[in-house]
């Protein structure tokens, strides 16, 4: 490929926030896998089955086009599986936990010991959530409550905390000592096996009391936690926790380290679809209660909420974007209402649509919803003289989080018509900006088509600051940019474009979205692969060309999303996926402003794509070369208006041996290596190795003019 450089720019400077990410609570086990909490179901709640939409996006059905097809219950068959996707059962000790298949009727409780008279069962009540765990040891030896899957590292103490009281038989007046112990995983079926660590917790009495201890292991590996009761002992326990001392707030050390490497500019949370039924107050304070995840199914434990997510973003050097629950009468019963039912009575559950099987009257009043959103702004950004600021300080964070970006819900067409939604955006914006005028409000622009957007802006354009869009086609992007630029010019506003949830799927990748019943190369199979990362590079290069009018784009997702992720945080340690490595490269790029190449514009399905940019100083050029083909190539560019001395210039090359290469915990075939280009007589010759993305920096002898 031979090209010629020009000194014309495509647009303004690239936004420094461009490559960003997305975290969704309640979906799969992405946050649970990132979190430092080591127990599964630490509050002993009945487990709600995952809903169909979760199974579809996890690609558990044999054929995603046939909802009646077999659902895979053993997640170990997938190449994205690792230890943080485990659903570890609570079991009676001595006994065996073992791998638990994920079925609609799974309880993740093994109620009786196979070798001793020890039993456990969930009981209503307790002091956290709706249930507690009763443990009865009627054997002649120590017995109790156990859970596998605790991964320990030498030198790292893990802190246990739990609420325990006497229960059942013995009589309520009797007290006795209990212990916490670690066994090597697999040893708990042998009553004679010795623990590797034992800690005295103290005397259990009839009233609930908190017990604490530290546990450590001599070697790295998998262990089983056991609460040990003496013979004849019976307890009721609740609100357990086991956290490593090297945790960073609520998150694993590895989740912070890998997240910092990816370096997102903005992190969107708490959803996604989850946000549409989220009460933010359930995720702050000391007395949080676990709850059902209304949209995705499963249990939402609320251990990770506003403070934890905002602090995590701060730790990574990212800004937060909060997705707000915009209330609507249809939300009381419906997760989705098609257009033909939007004129119906929201209380009529016979309407065409999808019910979420709950009664949620608290999410129906728009005025109340706007007030709750304003209170959330005050909690995040309010000073010490505000009610929200005082509440935040009481919860351990005196300084404001200064959350700038607030998106008005997710997939809002499920309940709203476009004009009605635009009006709600104005209502919410006015209430929220009355608390903090500096915040930016996002209007969803992907739900209703481009034709509806001008009318929506006429209703709410002066109250919103960015489009919350989706999609990745450049022609569609340019049409939407034209709409907002015309509105900005007419009204003196500065509305930006953002893509708050994107997947790099496109027709160039023939493997994506293929039903598993034909080839098993379904979408989740592809999410983890190098071809997915290469396609992400093409998409990000497109957004770079449009300057800072494209403020940020949230890759879906950050972590543990069946490889639809930038990082994976297994119990053994975290690693960066193929897509995560590509996102890192765009986060740290020196490309500042893209330059036009004469008679050249890359297309989405080009095998080889080239982009030339100036760096921030104007003293260097940045050359990106993407080769998605299986053949080596070379790109030659006549640098024309620029001055660079003959010689070699360095850079980095990201590559993998195959389209279907993927990073795992134990194998990292995606490599970042040093590379170089050669300049001779004003022409730069850049190698384009097969299946690679490269960035080279060319220092100029004369800086760019009028930069």
The confidence score (pLDDT) of residue 514 equals 41
The confidence score (pLDDT) of residue 377 equals 98
Structure tokens at 666: 């134990």
Fold (CATH) for 38-244 = Jelly Rolls (2.60.120)
- Per-residue b or e along 524-557, where b marks 16 or more CB atoms closer than 10 Å to that residue's CB: bbbbbbbbbbbbbbbbbbbbbbbbbbbbbbbbbb
Please give the average per-residue pLDDT across 21-27, as a whole number.
95
> Residue 609: CB partners within 8 Å, gap ≥ 6?
538, 541, 602, 624, 625, 626, 628
Structure tokens at 350: 């016979």
264-284 pLDDT tens trace: 999 999 999 999 999 999 999
Please give the average per-residue pLDDT across 168-179, as a whole number.
76
Nearest to 669, CA basis, from 587, 576, 588, 607: 576
Question: Does 35 have pLDDT greater than 60?
Answer: yes
Q: Centre a 10 Å sphere on the Cβ of residue 173 and count the other Cβ atoms it contains.
A: 8
User: Which strands form 158-166's sheet, in the order they lie side by side?
Assistant: 118-124, 131-137, 234-244, 158-166, 209-215
Helix/strand/coil percent split, the chain, to 5: 25, 30, 45
Above pLDDT 70, what percent of the chain? 97
Structure tokens at 329: 């009468």
- pLDDT bin (cut points 50, 70, 90) of residue 507 is very low
Please give the average per-residue pLDDT across 149-166, as a whole number.
97
349-373 pLDDT tens trace: 999 999 998 999 999 999 999 999 9
As a whole number, the mean pLDDT across the chain is: 94
- pLDDT bin (cut points 50, 70, 90) of residue 173 is low
Question: Does 229 have pLDDT greater than 80?
Answer: yes
The confidence score (pLDDT) of residue 706 equals 64
For the chain, what is the largest distance between any 2 Cα atoms, rounded to a whole number of angstroms? 93
287-338 pLDDT tens trace: 899 988 889 999 899 999 999 999 999 999 999 999 999 999 999 999 999 9
Question: Does 506 have pLDDT greater than 90?
Answer: no
Question: Does 184 have pLDDT greater than 50?
Answer: yes
Question: Does 519 have pLDDT greater than 60?
Answer: no
Structure tokens at 466: 């960015």
Q: How far apart are the first and last CA of the chain?
A: 28
Question: Does 605 have pLDDT greater than 90?
Answer: no
Please give the average per-residue pLDDT across 396-410, as a whole number.
97
> Residue 507: CB partners within 8 Å, gap ≥ 6?
604, 605
Q: How far is CA 647 from CA 80, 506, 542, in A?
A: 44, 38, 30
127-136 pLDDT tens trace: 899 999 999 9
Q: SS in 3 state form for 141-183?
A: CCEEEEEEEEEECCCCCEEEEEEEEECCCCCCCCCEEEEEEEE
Above pLDDT 90, what percent of the chain? 86
- pLDDT bin (cut points 50, 70, 90) of residue 511 is very low
Q: Is 153 left (phi over 0), alpha (psi -120 to 50) or beta?
A: beta
Question: Does 510 have pLDDT greater than 70?
Answer: no
447-500 pLDDT tens trace: 998 999 999 999 999 999 999 999 888 999 999 999 999 999 999 999 999 999
Question: Does 343 have pLDDT greater than 90?
Answer: yes
Question: Does 236 have pLDDT greater than 60?
Answer: yes
Question: Does 513 have pLDDT greater than 80?
Answer: no
Residue 139 DSSP class:
S
Delimit the CATH 2.60.120.260 region(s) of the chain. 38-244
Q: How far is CA 544 from CA 181, 245, 280, 540, in A?
A: 54, 41, 34, 6
CATH class of the domain at 19-27+247-327+365-587: alpha beta
Tokens 């018509």 found at = 417
CA atoms within 13 A on the CB side of 244: 20
> Residue 449: CB partners within 8 Å, gap ≥ 6?
none
The confidence score (pLDDT) of residue 509 equals 44
Structure tokens at 165: 């009281």
Please give the average per-residue pLDDT across 46-69, as a whole number.
87
Quote the Cα angle for 303-304-310, to 5°: 145
Delimit the CATH 3.20.20.80 region(s) of the chain. 19-27+247-327+365-587
Nearest to 561, CA basis, from 231, 118, 85: 85
The confidence score (pLDDT) of residue 525 equals 80
Question: Does 705 have pLDDT greater than 60?
Answer: yes
611-660 pLDDT tens trace: 999 999 999 999 999 999 999 999 999 999 999 999 999 999 999 999 99
Structure tokens at 445: 């622009």
């Amino acid at each position: 490929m031979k090209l010629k450089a020009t000194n014309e720019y495509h647009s303004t400077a690239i936004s420094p926030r461009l490559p960003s990410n997305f975290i969704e609570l309640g979906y799969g086990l992405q946050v649970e896998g990132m979190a430092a909490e080591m127990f599964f179901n630490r509050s002993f709640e009945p487990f709600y089955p995952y809903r169909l939409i979760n199974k579809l996006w996890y690609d558990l059905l044999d054929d995603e086009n046939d909802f009646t097809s077999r659902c895979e219950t053993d997640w170990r068959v997938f190449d994205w599986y690792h230890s943080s996707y485990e659903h570890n059962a609570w079991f009676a000790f001595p006994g065996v936990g073992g791998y638990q298949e994920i079925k609609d009727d799974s309880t993740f409780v093994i109620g009786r010991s196979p070798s001793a008279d020890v039993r456990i069962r969930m009981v209503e009540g307790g002091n956290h959530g709706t249930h507690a765990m009763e443990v009865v040891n009627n054997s002649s030896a120590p017995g109790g409550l156990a859970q596998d899957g605790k991964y320990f590292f030498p030198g790292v103490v893990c802190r246990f905390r739990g609420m325990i009281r006497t229960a059942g038989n013995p009589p309520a007046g009797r007290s006795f000592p209990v212990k916490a112990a670690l066994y090597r995983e697999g040893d708990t079926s042998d009553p004679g096996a010795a623990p590797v660590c034992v800690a005295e917790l103290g005397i259990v009495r009839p009233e609930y009391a908190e017990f604490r201890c530290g546990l450590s292991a001599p070697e790295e590996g998998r262990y089983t936690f056991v609460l040990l009761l003496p013979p004849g002992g019976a307890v009721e326990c609740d609100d357990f926790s086991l956290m490593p001392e090297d945790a960073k707030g609520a998150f694993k050390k590895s989740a912070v380290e890998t997240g910092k490497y990816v370096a997102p500019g903005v992190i969107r949370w708490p959803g996604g679809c989850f946000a549409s039924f989220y009460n933010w107050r359930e995720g702050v304070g000391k007395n949080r209660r676990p709850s059902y995840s209304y949209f995705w199914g499963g249990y939402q434990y609320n251990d990770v909420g506003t403070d934890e997510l905002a602090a995590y973003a701060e730790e990574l050097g990212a800004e937060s974007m909060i997705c707000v629950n915009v209330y609507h009468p249809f939300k009381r019963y419906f997760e989705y209402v098609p257009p033909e039912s939007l004129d119906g009575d929201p209380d009529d559950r016979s309407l065409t649509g999808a019910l979420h099987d709950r009664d949620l009257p608290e999410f129906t009043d728009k005025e109340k919803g706007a007030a709750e959103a304003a209170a959330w702004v005050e909690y995040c950004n309010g000073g010490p003289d505000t009610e929200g600021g005082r509440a935040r300080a009481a919860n351990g964070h005196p300084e404001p989080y200064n959350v700038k970006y607030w998106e008005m819900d997710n997939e809002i067409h499920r309940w709203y018509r476009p004009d009605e939604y635009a009006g709600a955006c104005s209502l919410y914006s006015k209430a929220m900006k009355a608390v903090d005028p500096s915040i930016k409000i996002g209007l969803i622009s992907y739900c209703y088509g481009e034709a509806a957007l001008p009318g929506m802006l006429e209703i709410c354009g002066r109250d919103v600051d960015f489009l919350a869009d989706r999609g990745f086609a450049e022609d569609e992007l340019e049409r939407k940019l034209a709409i907002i630029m015309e509105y900005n010019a007419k009204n003196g506003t500065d509305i930006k474009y953002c893509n708050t949830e994107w997947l790099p799927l496109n027709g160039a990748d023939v493997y994506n979205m293929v039903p598993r019943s034909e080839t098993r190369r379904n979408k989740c199979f592809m999410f983890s692969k190098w071809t997915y990362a290469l396609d992400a590079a093409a998409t990000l290069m497109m957004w770079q060309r449009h300057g800072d009018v494209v403020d940020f784009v949230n890759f879906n997702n950050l972590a543990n999303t069946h490889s639809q992720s930038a990082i994976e945080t297994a119990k053994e340690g975290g690693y960066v996926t193929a897509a995560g490595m590509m996102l890192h490269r765009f986060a740290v790029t020196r490309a500042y402003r893209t330059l036009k190449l004469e008679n050249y514009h890359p297309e989405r399905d080009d095998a080889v794509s080239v982009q030339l940019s100036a760096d921030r100083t104007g003293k260097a050029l940045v050359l990106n070369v993407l080769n998605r083909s299986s053949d080596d190539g070379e790109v030659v560019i006549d640098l024309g208006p620029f001055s660079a001395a003959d010689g070699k210039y360095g850079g980095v090359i990201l590559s993998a041996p195959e389209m279907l290469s993927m990073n795992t915990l134990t194998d990292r075939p995606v490599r970042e290596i040093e590379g170089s280009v050669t300049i001779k007589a004003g022409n730069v010759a850049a190698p384009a190795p097969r299946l690679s993305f490269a960035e080279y920096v060319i220092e100029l002898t004369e800086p760019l003019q009028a930069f």
